Amino acid sequence: MEVISSIGRRKTSIARIYMTSGKGEITVNNKSVEDYFPAGILQTIVRQPLNTVGQDGNFDIKVNVDGGGPAGQAEAIRLALSRALCEVDAENRSPLKKEGFLTRDPRMVERKKYGRRKARRKFQFSKR
């Protein structure tokens, strides 16, 4: 049984996935997807690539995800899963690319600058 590994990133999250043929179980950090992502929208984000190519329920997926928040982690998993599905079958590439699941989102948090409260927000102006 072949194990396909892949990596996905989003903001500061890094997801490593290990995909084998199976019954469609997805475990994230040794928990089920439903337990790890209680919000339904995040579960949907994780499953999007599988539903797009119609492979939902054909693979067992083990995910190690680290860093960032829930939304960033879910999108990192989505990218890793999309990349792994392309390795399985090259025909999966065009529908996934059309949906934009193979593009690494480059947006990162802008660094805080000195003399400012945040990256661009200035300190409150005091007249006196």
| pLDDT 10s digits, 41-62 | 999 998 888 888 888 888 899 9
Owner of token pair 């396909």: 4
Q: Tell me how crowded residue 117 is: count the other CB atoms within 10 A of its CB.
A: 11
126/103 Cα distance (integer angstroms): 45
How does pLDDT run across 111-121, given as a tens digit for each residue? 999 999 999 99
pTM of the model: 0.88
Give the model's pLDDT for residue 58: 86
* Helix/strand/coil for 9: strand
